[in-house]
Structure 1
């Protein structure tokens, strides 16, 4: 596995950086856009990219907070960092974020050593954005982990034209039961959408080092994610 950073031009001017992890060997590989949590392109997100590269994908994680402040890289370990993260979450423009994800997808499709197939995977805020990516861009397949606020934008669901998988934490403190019920009602009948609920799990159960990390549930979700991408990005 090798890692580097690239610069991507935004469609409305300016540019932003992205972390790129590549698998060993020279065979062309599908690409996956990794969509950050509210902590920026931090060690956890770089670790996701490295994991995907180890599984044979080219992973690229764009800095979606660059319009607010470039290079955000914080953790979930202190109250001050949580306060900063929620401030960034509140200031984030999701429409412009989708434009930046689409710019990243287009670059990823043409990167040397890729096949042209591109998926997306996101966590928390990124899980929400992965849903929107499925509905608003020509991505080939998308996965969202414990996306927040999807129930508020179910009007976008008719735009889903490619496979989408959502991992839902049953006890998610940010996605209450009524929100989960709306997601099931709004998306459950779509044959392109797969919903997995993890009993007893709270938000960020797959974030290594997080307060709610659960290895068994994370391993199951990650195995499902890899199988999903191997099927739909082949």
Structure 2
């Protein structure tokens, strides 16, 4: 396993992605979809961890259209301010095109066996949900996605696992209820609620990090990918 940089070309320009490779020469791939802090140490650690579990893991720089190479933390007021500026400037539709380009690049990689999943957190959680509605991803995992309730008219056509923080400050109870009302009956969707947990409970070092539920969500995600991607 080693971290490397990959350049992905699109009709709008090129962007980079952080790549971590497993020891196996041929493996399923997982696209890691960033939070609002860019491809930072937390995202790279998640990418490395997936490679350690046997996946070709790729984390694309989805803020490249605004500013390439964003790498900030949640540890200062200035960084939070910048993160929300990026969140507000982000074009979701363009981001989904970039994710599809990343999925295509993963499938074209000699180290990929053709199966590609996605996992996203926060903003990335919304984007992971949308990969299950708009892309040809084989399976998607969404952690505390923000704004999913605004996209519930879209058809989930690929297997989707969702982790919902019951006390999420960015996902109100009404939004959570709407998600359950629409998606609970969908056989392609599996939703887990985490009572007492706030947004980003799985972000190491974050204000709301909970080691127990982060581990539980991680184990569920890996079991899901094993079942859907092999």
TM over 0.5: yes
SS at match of 1:80: helix
TM superposition shift of 1:25: 3.9
TM-score of the superposed pair, with normalisation by structure 2: 0.99
Cα shift at 1:161:
1.6
Aligned residues: 230
Q: More deviation in 12-21 or 92-101? A: 12-21
The 2-side partners of 1:185 and 1:25 are apart by 41
Matched, 1:172 2:185: no
Q: CA deviation at 1:188?
A: 0.9
1:93 maps to 2:91: yes
Q: Which residue of 2 aligns with 1:21?
A: 20
Q: 2:112: which partner in 1?
A: 114
Partner of 1:198: 194
Structure 2 unmatched ranges of 5 or more: none
- How do residues 1-234 of structure 1 correspond to structure 2 at under 5 angstroms? 1-10=1-10, 12-26=11-25, 28-156=26-154, 158=155, 160-234=156-230
Q: Secondary structure at the match of 1:155?
A: coil
Q: 1:179 and 1:118 mapped to 2: Cα distance?
A: 29
Deviation at 1:23, TM superposition (A): 1.0
3-state SS of paired residue (1:115): strand
Work out whether residues 9 and 16 of structure 1, in 8 Å CA contact, stay in contact via their aligned partners in 2. Answer: yes
Contact 2:31 2:117 in 1 (8 A): yes
Alpha carbons 1:33, 1:61 under 8 Å: kept: yes
CA drift of 1:110 comes to 1.3
Distance 1:166 1:230 in 2: 16
CA RMSD of aligned residues (A): 0.6
- Is the CA contact (8 Å cut-off) linking 2:8 and 2:102 kept in structure 1? yes
Distance in 2 (CA, whole Å) between partners of 1:182 and 1:6 is 38
TM-score, normalised by the number of residues in structure 1:
0.97
Shift of 1:114: 1.1
Residue by residue, what CA displacement relative to the aligned partner does 1:38-92 show, whole Å, maximum 9, x if unpaired?
A: 0000000000000000000010000000000000000000000000000000000
Superposed CA offset, 1:17-45 (max 9, x none)? 0000011243x110000000000000000
1:13: Cα distance to partner? 2.1
Runs ≥4 residues deviating over 4 A: none
Partner Cα separation in structure 2 for residue 211 and residue 112 of structure 1: 40
